[in-house]
Amino acid sequence: MENKKIPGSEAVILSLIEENVDIIFGYPGGAMIPIYDSLYDYNDKIRHILTRHEQGLVHAADGYARVTGKPGVCFATSGPGATNLVTGIANAMLDSIPMVCFTGQVGSPLLGTDAFQESDLIGITMPITKWSYQITKAEEVPEAVAKAFYIAQTGRPGPVLIDITKDAQMGMLDWKYEKCTKIRSYVPEAPVDILKIEEAANIIDKAKKPLLLLGQGVIIGRAENELREFIEKTGVPAAWTLLGLSALPTEHPLNVGMLGMHGNYGPNLLTNEADVIIAVGMRFDDRVTGKVSSYAKKAKIIHLEIDPSEINKIVKADVAVIGNSKKSLQLLTDKVKENSHDEWIKEFKKCDDIEYKKVIEKDIHPTKPGLTMGEIVRMASEKTNHEAILVSDVGQHQMINARYFKFKHTRSHVSSGGLGTMGFGLPASMGAQMGMPDRTVFSVSGDGGFQMTIQELGTIEQNKLPIKIIVLNNNFLGMVRQWQQLFFEKRYSFTKLHNPNFIMIAKGYGIEGNKVDKREDLDAAMQKMIDHDGPYVLEVTIEKEDNVFPMVPAGASVSDVMLEP
Amino acid sequence: MQVTKESKMKQEFIITVYSENHIGLLSRITIIFTRRKVNIESLTVSESAIKGIFKFTIVIEETKEQVIKMVGQIEKQIDVLKAFYHTNDEVIYQEIALYKVPIEPIYQSNSIEKIARNAGARILEITRDYVVIEKTGHKNETQALFDELNKFKVMQFIRSGRVALTRDPIERLSEFLKERDAFLDSQNE
Ligand SMILES: Cc1ncc(C[n+]2csc(CCOP(=O)(O)OP(=O)(O)O)c2C)c(N)n1
């Protein structure tokens, strides 16, 4: 039987359909026109979201991937279209987000000639992609795309890039698709070594002050239940990294809070008291460890991790369990003894009380007139019964979001961790809302970051995405200002912002909005936004010079965590 | 965990990388070194004994601890099959050097044959203007011959990247490939 002959451009679309892609985030241009032309015929099978800037589409794909676990798919044209993706690809790489980006490229005879809108995307993105490939012949399309999807979502996920020349889009091939199931040079996950599990279980059984650190690996491995079973059997308290947030419900009795620079007092302070640390799917980022040479010195370190190159990278592991977190945790739970650590957990409670008095109470029940980020974020959480998805931008509010929003469901917190990309929040919330159309999605940004991708209000309106957009306006690049205040004698060098009328801008885009600057108006305004059927921008004027505490100053030890300046 | 003193000391390491041939992999590998400001002392790429599989031999001077981390990063590259690291005494290695020396002074001194013989070098070509000599050995040996020949003012000199073999009785790669194929097949059952 003869196979059907089709152009490479159509093969791209058919390959996406084979991979169960239902949504593409894209922006067309000359080098992508053939693919866009083929897409026109498959409008009923696959949705395409046209953003207002390529940075918007790549973050949207990222947000979509984080809430669904499915790879985000991006289309961008050659040259400037493709280079506009770079920030978003780097962001996805550092946060291990599965993503498949397609970039158009000039015709293959023109490669290397500085042709119009030619840029070497493979070269540019090499250090920030898990894998990349340039297609120069139509017949390469199915295999390359299949490989791209396999690599992006298996093992430790990450972004992959397919650069496809215009002649490859227009050339013909015999259509046949086969999913990729293995690559000889790539082992996505090694089988768990049972001897290591036994070694780890022995240490855990003897521990007096064990602490579990959970990272995004728990979410990626879909190991939330396994994690819960493990801590409930062993009685080990669990603290989370920024990207591990929402894997364990906020109110779980063994959830002791957030690690790192602006994390909770207890988990930071007591990291250096713990005798055993069980790190699951986390990579000891410097924002988590503070000064490594004085980090967790009393503890034996057990590291459960899928990526062997993370073992001993920052912190030496006494026992390294390489493999998928779901399987490792299951095996480990089988081996460990039932236990409880009530006295040890009381130490966390004591720290919580101190933190509450010194920090939290002032943040969420302020007595001063100015509004605080903390009270606003907590109110949003409460008004949605802690069921919502929270998408954050980067800065002070990002830390406040993580500290005060509460979660009942996994994959509900979307935040740019490794790269800390301002401008991430608003576009990522579009992807989150499209991935989870039935859930309430909040996008919470600062006045600085909001303006970095504000143009995506256009995409939100065009697609009627009912996102609840909160802009916390302190007229400052708050996080930088905080450092300037604390460590640079209040020399506020270029951190003050004169802002536009955000509500007028929202209305210009056809989006409803409201501005609040008094506490007594907040509740009603928040309720109105939540009840509103459609997108809504709520701008809140907040205290200008509030700081985020606790804080582990850069380069200090986690046990030097400060509760006040 | 204890960090041994040895792992903190810089020394020469030979990293061998086996890969499926893919355009761009060389860049992906070199980025791993350049990103950490590690100088590549020598780099050789060639097809291995197994068709379609390429071998990179990379010489760097680093601590063992760093080398282990970088080898981990190299192995993480999708198209890399396997990477090994060795110290010099664990492998048999050679570099090749070529020297172009002007003919005149050599004739006058009448010592070229003797120099070549003593150094275990061979003469590749003699023309009216110059002699080309080839020597295989370790860097200190090829350097010693350079110093000797430079009495006659060496016109051109080139030293290759390093090539190395392990002392293992078996070819590690073919064993490795057998295991890998069996493992991947078992995963897909
Ligand atoms: C693209 C980008 N540029 C610069 C920074 C550095 N930076 C980190 S936080 C911050 C201030 C953010 O200010 P704003 O968006 O108003 O939020 P706030 O800190 O006030 O909550 C800056 C400039 C960054 N993270 N990302």
Ligand 1 and A267: CB distance under 6 A: no
Domain membership of residue A548 (yes or no) is no
Where helices occur in A69-161 by DSSP H, the ranges are 80-83, 86-94, 121-125, 141-153
**Chain A nearest-CA residue for B188:** A181
Ligand 1 and A453: CB distance under 6 A: no
C-alpha to C-alpha distance for A209 and A205, rounded to whole angstroms: 11
Q: What b/e readout covers A408-430, taking b as 16+ CB neighbours within 10 angstroms?
A: ebbbbbbbbbbbbbbbbbbbbbb
Residues 140-179 of A with CB under 8 A from B: 151
A371 contacts A239 by C-beta, under 8 angstroms: no
- Same domain as B88, residue B133: no
Collapsed DSSP state (helix, strand, coil) of residue A232: helix
- Same domain as B108, residue B29: no
Intervals of chain A under pLDDT 70: 1-2
C-alpha to C-alpha distance for A414 and A390, rounded to whole angstroms: 6
Domain membership of residue B186 (yes or no) is no
Return the pLDDT at B39: 95
Ligand 1 centroid–CA A415 distance in Å is 13
The range of the structural domain enclosing residue A61 comes to: 4-175
Instruction: Determine the residue type at A425.
Output: G
Q: Does pLDDT of B111 surpass 90? A: no
C-alpha to C-alpha distance for B71 and B83, rounded to whole angstroms: 6
Collapsed DSSP state (helix, strand, coil) of residue B117: helix
Domain membership of residue A24 (yes or no) is yes
Helices and strands in chain B, H and E counts:
6, 9
* Domain end among B92, B109, B142: B92
- Same domain as B65, residue B30: yes
- Same domain as A374, residue A339: no
- What confidence category does residue B6 fall into, taking pLDDT thresholds of 50, 70 and 90? low
Domain membership of residue B99 (yes or no) is yes
Number of domains, chain A? 3
Angle, vertex CA A559, rays to CA A554 and CA A561, nearest 5: 55
Specify the residue for token string 């779901």: A326
Span B96-111, mean pLDDT? 88
Span B89-96, mean pLDDT? 94
- Residue of A54, A118, A226, A310 with catalytic role: A54
Cα–Cα nearest to A284, from A311, A322, A324: A311
* Domain end among B52, B67, B92: B92
Return the pLDDT at B7: 73
Nearest by CB to A185, from B72, B79, B188: name it.
B79
Partners of B80 on chain A (C-beta within 8 Å) are 185
Q: Does pLDDT of B54 surpass 90? A: yes
The CA-atom distances, in angstroms, between B100 and each of A538, B112, B142, B155 are 77, 12, 13, 5
From B130's Cα to the closest Cα of chain A, the distance in A is 39
Active site residue A549: no
Q: Read off the tokens for A289.
A: 């460890």
- Do residue A316 and residue B188 have CB atoms under 8 angstroms apart? no
Ligand 1 and A420: CB distance under 6 A: yes
Domain membership of residue A183 (yes or no) is no
**What phi and psi, each to the nearest 5 degrees, are found at residue A97?**
-100, 130
- Same domain as A327, residue A211: yes
Return the pLDDT at A92: 98
Residue B156: DSSP 8-state:
E
- Same domain as A86, residue A225: no
Cα–Cα nearest to A78, from A114, A52, A49: A114
Neighbouring C-beta atoms of residue A232, cutoff 10 Å: 15
- Same domain as B149, residue B99: yes
Domain membership of residue A486 (yes or no) is yes
- Same domain as B110, residue B84: no
- Same domain as B88, residue B40: yes
- Same domain as A167, residue A28: yes
C-alpha to C-alpha distance for A262 and A239, rounded to whole angstroms: 13
- Same domain as A156, residue A26: yes
The length of chain B, given as a count of residues: 189
- Do residue B78 and residue A131 have CB atoms under 8 angstroms apart? yes
- Same domain as B77, residue B29: yes
C-alpha to C-alpha distance for B173 and B54, rounded to whole angstroms: 11
C-alpha to C-alpha distance for A85 and A87, rounded to whole angstroms: 6
Domain membership of residue A360 (yes or no) is no
- Same domain as B55, residue B17: yes
Could you tell me which residue, A74 or B185, shows the higher pLDDT? A74
* Domain end among B39, B63, B92: B92
- What confidence category does residue B104 fall into, taking pLDDT thresholds of 50, 70 and 90? confident
Collapsed DSSP state (helix, strand, coil) of residue A174: strand
Q: Tell me the best of A450, A453, A477 to mutate to test the pocket of ligand 1, counting ligand atoms within 8 Å of each CB and taking the most.
A: A477
- Same domain as B40, residue B19: yes
**What phi and psi, each to the nearest 5 degrees, are found at residue B71?**
-65, -35
From B7's Cα to the closest Cα of chain A, the distance in A is 13
Which residues make Cβ contacts (< 8 Å) with residue A353, sequence separation at least 6? none
- Same domain as A390, residue A478: yes
A314 contacts A288 by C-beta, under 8 angstroms: no
Cα–Cα nearest to A532, from A460, A458, A466, A470: A466
Partners of A123 on chain B (C-beta within 8 Å) are 24, 27
Q: Which strand (E) or helix (H) includes residue A384?
A: none
C-alpha to C-alpha distance for A533 and B16, rounded to whole angstroms: 61
- Same domain as B80, residue B57: yes
Per-residue pLDDT of B125-167, as tens digits, reads 999 999 999 999 999 999 999 999 999 999 999 999 999 988 8
C-alpha to C-alpha distance for A160 and A147, rounded to whole angstroms: 10
C-alpha to C-alpha distance for A36 and A467, rounded to whole angstroms: 28
Domain membership of residue A363 (yes or no) is no
**DSSP-assigned letters across all residues of A387-427:** -SEEEE-SSHHHHHHHHH---SSSS-EE---SS--TT-HHH
Ligand 1 centroid–CA A425 distance in Å is 12
- Same domain as A284, residue A146: no
**What phi and psi, each to the nearest 5 degrees, are found at residue A264?**
-80, 160
Q: Does pLDDT of B1 surpass 50? A: no
Domain membership of residue A564 (yes or no) is no
A562 contacts A552 by C-beta, under 8 angstroms: yes
- Same domain as A150, residue A106: yes
3-state helix, strand, coil in chain A (%, to 5): 45, 20, 40
Residue A291: DSSP 8-state:
S
Q: Read off the tokens for A327.
A: 């399987």
Q: Does pLDDT of B69 surpass 70? A: yes
CATH code (residue B133): 3.30.70.1150
The CA-atom distances, in angstroms, between A545 and each of A481, A485, A491, A539 are 8, 9, 13, 17
- Same domain as A504, residue A379: yes
The range of the structural domain enclosing residue B76 comes to: 5-92
- Residue of A434, A479, A529, A551 with catalytic role: A479
Residue B138: DSSP 8-state:
-
ipTM here: 0.89
C-alpha to C-alpha distance for A33 and B73, rounded to whole angstroms: 37
Per the DSSP assignment, residues forming a β-bridge with A277 are: A211, A301
CATH code (residue A505): 3.40.50.970
Domain membership of residue B48 (yes or no) is yes
- Same domain as B44, residue B10: yes
CATH code (residue A322): 3.40.50.1220
Residues 318-377 of A with CB under 8 A from B: 318
Return the pLDDT at B22: 74
Domain membership of residue A380 (yes or no) is yes
Beta strands in A209-336 (DSSP E): 210-214, 238-240, 255-258, 276-280, 300-305, 319-322
Where helices occur in B40-131 by DSSP H, the ranges are 64-76, 103-109, 112-119
Q: Does pLDDT of B24 surpass 90? A: no
Instruction: Determine the residue type at B52.
Output: G
Specify the residue for token string 């060639």: B46
CATH code (residue B79): 3.30.70.260
Q: Read off the tokens for A159.
A: 């972004």
From A320's Cα to the closest Cα of chain B, the distance in A is 12
- Same domain as A303, residue A206: yes
Domain membership of residue B62 (yes or no) is yes
Return the pLDDT at B2: 46
- Same domain as A218, residue A92: no
- Same domain as A388, residue A266: no
Span between the terminal Cα atoms of chain B, in Å = 39
- Same domain as B51, residue B26: yes
Residue B72 contacts A, CB cutoff 8 Å: yes
Number of domains, chain B? 2
Ligand 1 and A448: CB distance under 6 A: yes
From the centroid of its chain, how far is CA A481?
24
